Amino acid sequence: MDLDWHQQLGSSLLWLLYCFAIAGAASAAIVYALARGTRWGRQFWRLAWPYLTPRRSWRPLLSLGLQLLLALAGVRMTVLFSYWYQGFYNALQALNARAFWIMLGIFGVLAAVHVSRALLDYYVGQAFEIDWRVWLNAHLTQDWLDGNAYYRSQFLDAPVDNPDQRIELDIASFVTGSRTLALGAIGAVVSLAAFTQILWNLSGPLQLGSIELPRAMVLLVYLYVIVATLLAFKVGRPLIRLNFLAEQLTANFRYALVRLRENAENIAFYQGANVERRTLATRFAAYIGNLWALIRRTLKFDGLNLAVSQVAVVFPFMLQAPRFFSGAIKLGDVMQTSQAFGQVQDALSFFRTSYDSFAQYRATLTRLDGFQDANRQARALPQVNLRAQPRGLRIDALGVRRPDGGPLLQGLQLQLAPGQALLIKGPSGSGKTTLLRALAGLWPYAQGQVHRPAGAQALFLSQRPYLPLGDLRAALAYPAAAGPADDARLADALQRTQLAHLADALDRAGDWSRVLSLGEQQRLAFARALFNQPAILFLDEATSATDEGLEHALYALLRTALPDCMLVSVGHRGTLDAFHDQVLRLDGRGGWRLARQAGPAGSATPGDDAERVPGNGLQVCG
C-alpha cells in the first residue's frame, strides 16, 4: 500500500492525539490495578506517588505526559520510515530515478524530524530523572533521619543492611528503571498495534497440505514470539533473586572494606590483618559464588534470546519469497514486511528481553520499600515520654531494660535545678550509658517520663566525639552552624580548652577524626559545649582520654563558663565527685541509690537521699 506523503502531517497529528488519549487512560488504569493487585505494584506506588501527586506539583505529571507524547511520536516515525522503505525499494526495482530522488528528499525530512525528536526526548527524560532523584534522595534521607530511625533501626528484629547503598545506588536504579520500563512497555504495545495492521495488509495465505491459513504471517509471528516469551520467563525467573543477592553481597563486601579502613589503627595494634583477610575473603567468595550463578543463568537467558532473534531475521523473507517470485508483491513490499515483522517481533519480545532488567528493578523496589518499612518500624519502637521544658530536669518512674528484658533500672525519680550536676556511677555493664540513651529518647527498652530542655538546648558529649566532614569551624560548632562572624567565639573556646594551636585552622577542611588524637577530640567537644551553651549537658566518660589534671581543668571550666548549665556525667574517677551535687549509683539489676553531696562550691545541697533496692521499693534515706 503506497502512502500519500502530502497528507502525513495532519494524519500523524491526529494519530498522535488519538493514541495519546488511549495510552494515557490505559496506563493510569494499569498502574492503579497493579498498585491494588500486586505486591511490587504497591511498593512502586508508595515510592512514586508522593512525588507524582499533583497536590505537591503538576510538573512531574506534565513531564510524563510530554515523554509519553514523544515516545508515541517515535512509534509514528518508525511507521513512516516503514512506508518510506516500501516506496524507496519499489523505485529501485522499477528503475524510476524521479521517484528515487523524491524518496531521498522525504527521507531528509523524516530524518531531521526523527533526530530532533530523539534529542528532545533525551533531554526531557534526563531532566525528569534528575528532578525525581533529587526529590527522592531528600525524601528518603529525611525519612531515615526522622525520629532517629537511622539509629533506632538497629534494634529491629530484622534491621536493614547497607542503608547508604539504598540511598546512593538504588534511588538511581529505581528512577531510571521506572521511566525506561514504563515508556518501553507503552511503546511496545503501540508499535505492536501499528505494525500488526501493516503486517496484516502485507500478509498472504499459507498452504499447509490441505489447510490454508489466511494472513499466516501475523499468526506465525505471534505464535513464535509468545512461545519464546513463555520460555524466557521460565528460564529468567531465578534472575530476580540472584540480582537481589548480588546487590546485597556487594554491599556487604564494601561495608567490610569500609570498617577495615575506619578501624585501621586498632586492627594494626591487634595485628589482625590475617583475620580481616579471612573476613574479606569469605564475603568476597559469597559474592563471587552468587556472580557465577548469575552468569550461568544469564547465559541460558541470553542464549535463548539470541537464538530467537537470529531466526527472526530470515523468517519473513522465507514466508514472502513465494509471493515475490510469483510477482504478487514487489521488492518494497518484501522489505516493508521484513521491517514490520521485526517491529512486531520486537514489540512482542519486549517483555521477554526486558525480563532481566525487570528482575533487577524488582530487587531495587524491594530494597527501597524495605528501607521505608524499617524506618517506620524504627520510629514506632517504644521510648520514654520526653517532654520539653526550658529549665530543670525531672525524671519520673523511669525504667530501663536490657534487650532480653532483664532490668537495668527501675522506678528512678530525681530532679535537677539549673546549675546542678549529677554523676552516674556503677560497675561496667550496669547501664550507665544506656541510661543516657534512654534520656535522649534513643533506647527502645525504656518507659517513664523525662522533662528536660530539648533541641539545641541539650548537648551530648560521648567518649569518642563525632566530628563531621568539612572544615574545623563546622566540626567545632556541630550541631549548630557557624560562619566567619563566629570565629572570635570559636577561637576563644579553643584557647580555653588548650587547643589554641588550632585557632588558625578554622577554614581547613579534612577528616578531623583522623587528624586529631582522641584527647584532642575530647577537648574539642568541650569547646563545642562552650560555643553552643546548652541548658543541659550529658557527658559519657567525655574525659577518658585526658589525665586527671586536664579533666579537673575542663570540668572547672564548664562550671565557671556555663554556671546555669545542668551536667549529667558518666564517669569512674573519684576526681569528678567534686563537680557534681548528686551521685547516682546503679547496680545493674534494677536497683539504684541517689546520694546528695557537697556541691562545687563546697556547700551541702539540702534534701534527702533516695535508694531503690530490687524487690524492696523506693526508700528515702535521711
pLDDT per position as a tens digit, 243-283 = 888 888 988 898 899 888 888 867 887 788 898 999 999 99
CB 596 within 8 A of CB 605: yes
CATH superfamily, domain at 385-621:
P-loop containing nucleotide triphosphate hydrolases (3.40.50.300)
CB 621 within 8 A of CB 609: yes
Task: Tell me the pLDDT band of 496, cut-offs 50, 70 and 90.
Answer: very high
Tally of CB atoms within 10 A around 280: 14
d(CA 566, CA 561): 12
Closest CA to 555 of 572, 577, 531: 577
d(CA 13, CA 426): 81
Task: Tell me the pLDDT band of 33, cut-offs 50, 70 and 90.
Answer: very high
d(CA 416, CA 426): 20
Domain residue extents for the chain: 5-380, 385-621
Instruction: Dig out the grid coordinates for 505 from the structure.
Output: 585552622
Task: Tell me the pLDDT band of 207, cut-offs 50, 70 and 90.
Answer: low
Question: 56-62 long-range contacts, Cβ below 8 Å, gap at least 24?
Answer: 59/131, 60/128, 60/131, 60/132
d(CA 269, CA 474): 31
CATH architecture label of 5-380: Up-down Bundle (1.20)
Closest CA to 80 of 115, 107, 117: 107
Q: What percent of the chain has pLDDT over 90?
A: 56
CB 47 within 8 A of CB 174: yes
Name the residue with cell 497529528: 13
Poorest-confidence range of 85-89, 540-544, 584-588? 85-89
User: Can 5-380 and 385-621 be said to share one CATH topology?
Assistant: no
Instruction: Tell me the H-state helices in 432-582.
Output: 432-439, 472-477, 487-496, 512-515, 518-532, 548-561
CB 348 within 8 A of CB 222: yes
Compare 534 and 615 and report the one with higher pLDDT: 534
Task: Tell me the pLDDT band of 607, cut-offs 50, 70 and 90.
Answer: very low
d(CA 531, CA 527): 6
Which residues are CB-neighbours of 501 under 8 A, at least 6 positions away?
Answer: none
- pTM (2 d.p.): 0.76
Instruction: Dig out the grid coordinates for 281 from the structure.
Output: 575473603
Compare 175 and 308 and report the one with higher pLDDT: 175
Poorest-confidence range of 296-310, 340-354, 479-493? 340-354
pLDDT at 538 over 80: yes
Task: Tell me the pLDDT band of 208, cut-offs 50, 70 and 90.
Answer: low
Q: Return the bridge partners of 399, or none.
A: 447
d(CA 621, CA 272): 51
pLDDT at 494: 95
Name the residue with cell 523506693: 618
Q: Return the bridge partners of 388, or none.
A: 452
Instruction: Dig out the grid coordinates for 582 from the structure.
Output: 548528686
- Amino acid in the structure at residue 540: D
Compare 483 and 452 and report the one with higher pLDDT: 452
Instruction: Dig out the grid coordinates for 507 from the structure.
Output: 577554614
CB 191 within 8 A of CB 311: no
CB 525 within 8 A of CB 557: no
pLDDT at 277: 92
CB 496 within 8 A of CB 467: no
pLDDT at 606: 40
Which residues are CB-neighbours of 462 under 8 A, at least 6 positions away?
Answer: 525, 540, 542
pLDDT at 620: 42
What one-character DSSP code corresponds to residue 205?
-
d(CA 165, CA 548): 43
Q: Report how far apart the first and last C-alpha atoms of the chain are (Å, whole number).
A: 108
**pLDDT, tens digit, 9 for 90 and up, residues 175-186:** 999 999 999 999
d(CA 277, CA 275): 5
d(CA 59, CA 326): 57
Poorest-confidence range of 226-230, 376-380, 491-495, 574-578? 226-230
pLDDT at 373: 94
Name the residue with cell 563525632: 466
pLDDT at 601: 41
Instruction: Dig out the grid coordinates for 553 from the structure.
Output: 581543668
pLDDT, average across residues 379-390 = 91
- Amino acid in the structure at residue 438: A
d(CA 213, CA 470): 74
